[in-house]
Amino acid sequence: MTTYLRIALTAGAILCLVLSTAPLAAEESWESLDKQAKRGKIDAEAKGALDEVLGKSENAKQLFGKAYGWAAFDNLKIAIGWSGGGGNGVAVNKGSGARTYMKMGTVGIGIGIGAQKYQVVFFFQDEKTFRSFVDKGWQADATAQAAAGTAGAGGQTGFVNGIAIYQITDAGLMASADIGGTKYWKNKKLN
């Protein structure tokens, strides 16, 4: 691992910590919530994201029907010459309903300024891909961009390397040419 990558991942982890402890709008701060309340918030956000993707795309409905499992994450990304972000999510085994709570972090450098809140929904084609994502974590790369496609939520037509990815963005402003990656891993405090 290069020195730059280590520095970038450390900076991203610090930003994730700051973002995850930031007060929630008109609610208690994330830090003040107990484990069950945090899980409940993550579950509600994940269900909303899944419902939105399924409601907007017939292809998503078909892929979800074939999927072994799914995951959804809320993310906040901030860019001021460099970018970083963090969020929480849950991976769900469709057959058993078992849930694994997870975190995500992203960091990069590029030309950009602004903030963007978005959600990412994953569908996993088979048990092996799902278990690998949950147990080993996952880092997004160029393959993830190919899996997500460029036509928005309706653009996904099939699984790429066992994963289908959908992104839902708010109306926030984000002007960025970013070269960073995103990593997903288990949240030890919530499992």
User: What are the boundaries of each domain within the chain?
Assistant: 3-186
Mean of all residue pLDDT scores within the chain: 76
Please state, as a whole number, how many other Cβ atoms lie within 10 Å of the Cβ of residue 1.
6
Q: Contact at 8 Å (CB) between 175 and 76?
A: no
Q: What percent of the chain has pLDDT over 70?
A: 66
Pick from 138, 128, 185: nearest CA to 162: 128
Residue 109: pLDDT band by 50, 70, 90 thresholds? low
Mean pLDDT computed over 128-144: 82
Q: Which of 64-78, 80-94, 176-190 has the lowest mean pLDDT?
A: 176-190
- The better pLDDT of the pair 80, 130 is held by 130
**C-alpha distances in angstroms, 62 versus 6, 130, 167, 185?**
39, 18, 17, 27
Which range scores top for mean pLDDT: 53-57, 77-81, 91-95, 138-142? 91-95
Residue 141: pLDDT band by 50, 70, 90 thresholds? low
Give the ranges where 21-57 is alpha helix by DSSP (H).
35-56
* Secondary-structure breakdown of the chain: helix, strand, coil percentages, each rounded to the nearest 5: 40, 40, 25
Supply the pLDDT for residue 57.
Answer: 86
> Partners of 118 in the beta sheet?
75, 169
Decide if pLDDT at 142 tops 60. Answer: no
Q: In angstroms, how far is CA 108 from the centroid of its own chain?
A: 16
Supply the pLDDT for residue 51.
Answer: 94
What pTM does this model have? 0.75
